[in-house]
A and B are shown apart, each in its own frame.
Chain A
Amino acid sequence: MPTSDWPHVMLHVVSGKGGTGKTTVAAALALALASGGRRVMLMEVEGRQGLAQLFDAPPLPYEERKLAVAPGGGEVWGLAVDPEEALLEYLELFYNLRRAGGALRRMGAVDFVTTISPGLRDVLLTGKAVELVRRKDKMHAKPYDAIVLDAPPTGRITRFLNVNTEIAGVAKVGPIRSQADGVMAVLRSPKTAVHLTTLLEEMPVQETADGVRELSDAALPVGGIVVNVTRPPRLDADQLALARSGDLPVDEIRRAVLAAGVGRDTDSVVAALAGEAADHAARVALEDTERLRIAELGRPVYELPFLASGIDLGALYELGSRLKAQGMA
């Protein structure tokens, strides 16, 4: 088993363009990190209950719950962070203001404040992740070995994590500002890595490239790139080249198709097979171009295959073990 590429990272943030499977990747990464007896927290922050759906569990409350066990005695825990609850918790924790919080909520103020000021909402959500990173029990042991955050999509990730700048616009001084500074310090540290998921398609790869640039510009630590839903080519490189240039050995194929006794009209079978090969070759060429663009980003790259059976718990274990085998965990 190779060693992890991210031995010092405690907070794995997983983002990606919508539709690239970032929640699936986050869950697979959590299982991979937990394998061998570690305890991992998997957090979601978008109020979608994506984790509950994925693990086929009832909707998650704002409460740490065990979601799954990992190979070798590890555990994956889940938490759906709600910005309102996080604000109330924050008020209680720092100001002992739980009761006031209740009154605020009845007035619609909590909803208002967490909605209209996205910087504030984000600092509460990221603040929760950072709290879990820093948390120690009475014996000064860390309750979680790693935190995996199923984060907002690539288009919003830099804003989401760059809480310091975002909050600066609305809160120039005061405790929420100091809170933002503290959160930012952890997010920018080597304890954090922001991984991006993509598909081998133009738009998602473009968004990944934009995301890497924006994160770097904001001095946020870019992690690896997970290429999801890949399909291995069915033809080898030479065959793909022939299919692409239209130079397939048609006579040989006709003879072999006839020998194997496939179909009635051999000519149309050969034409169909050659046409499919040309489509396939064009698709593979396009994917190779996208792979090159991903490689040019200079980040560690992990690939996960398309699973025809769909994504269930068994599939998550398989994806997790593939991430581990490639050194992501």
Chain B
Amino acid sequence: MSPLSAMSASRSSEQTGASRPPAALEVESLTVRYGRVHALTDLSFAAAPGELVLILGTNGAGKSSAVNATAGLVAPFAGRIRVGGRDVTRQPAHRRVRSGVSLVPEGRGPLPGISVRDNLELGYRARPRGKRSEPYEDAVERIFALFPILEQRLKQDCGTLSGGEMQMLAIGRALLADPAVLLLDEPSLGLAPKPVAQVYEALDACAASGLTLVIIEQKSVPLRTEPALTMVLHNGRVIDRRRHARPSDGELAELYMGGMA
């Protein structure tokens, strides 16, 4: 039994009302511009509940703009974002968390001076009151099952964690908000192969538990779960899109280099 199954079970029961469940996340013609810089142009995709979407691209390809706009941190220039069928495009970031979208930001978002325990509690407190029927102790227990190291580090200032531990804390913190969709901005960034493997093992467990995941990365990652959709971004546009298949490292290199011409 996956450590996260309780969360997903409660969610799927909410969605059985409709004959065909709406997509957990639907992004339609999303366009992000910073002044005259066109960061992202016309990105569209949908993820059914429990699906995993992988977005690959080099620096400046528009990956972060895509997830930041989905999380509400950046106002899109155009396009719509729907979560569970509900339009959240105009919702500010802090309310979108309550709508079920959690972001693990690039660089893991350490909060130096705040203990691991308080970090986790901040995550739990992002839940809307209606979702707090599950006590904090039980919720955090599941996070410890996923990342045992966090239990040993509870009292530590999170500024003293290693990169891998901080990434695990950032994911645990986001999961405690009980999201329907978890967005991860380069979770492997700056980590050694071993912590990358640990982090992805946990993400595989999340995927198996029925959580909808959107992961962005620069290069291929040790993900066991086959993404339902893999897209490659270049200069803000999708240049490669595959369902239930990932480009090989060779193809990826080709796409990155070829796209430059």
A and B together in one complex: no
Partner-B contacts on A (CB < 8 A): none
Interface residues in chain B, defined as those with a beta carbon under 8 Å from any beta carbon in chain A: none
